[in-house]
Amino acid sequence: MTDILAYGQPEPTEETALRALTDLFGPQMAEATWATAVRAAGLTRPLHSIDDVQKAAEELTRLGDRIARVAGRSLRVRVIAYRALSGWSREGHPAAPGRQRRGPGGAGGGVGTETPPVGRGQG
């Protein structure tokens, strides 16, 4: 497992996917549901890459069980978010808890702004 340690974000893996399904369905049904998704994705367990986990997540979103589809969407978001944060990290942006920026990336982000709280939203 690869963590983006500075952000405290663990890489989604087959193990974490199974854990999430187990929370919903219990261990036996979770195992069966995951196995079905992996098979449907044309993969063989154990899964070794985040690409494969994403493929299995996509299949989960198409399975017949409605709650499994919710879990599949969750897993897909987690994989995509992890990839996005990894990309951000690889681009050389240091993780800096307490860092303050005016905008989420791009030019002219205004790093280091320290602004006192103000009241807003009179609408």
Partner 1 sequence: VVVCGGDTRQVKAWGRLEELCRLRLDDPARRPELDQLAQRVASLLDAPIALVSVALDEAQMFLGGCGLTGWLADIGGTPLEWSFCRHVVGSGREYLVADAMTDPGMRDSPLVTVAGIRSYAGVPLVSRFGFVIGALCVKDYLPGSFTSGALARLRQEASGVMDLLERDSVSST
What does the binding site for partner 1 look like in residue numbers (CB under 8 A)? 7-9, 20, 23-24, 61, 66-67, 69-71, 73-75, 77-78, 80-81, 84-85, 87-88, 93, 95-106, 109, 115-123
List the one residue out of 25, 12, 13, 32 whose CA is nearest residue 84: 12
CB 98, min distance to partner 1, A? 7
Nearer to partner 1, 44 or 100 (CB): 100
Contact 39, 8 (CB under 8 A): no
Nearer to partner 1, 92 or 97 (CB): 97
DSSP 64: S
**Chain centre to alpha carbon of residue 94:** 20
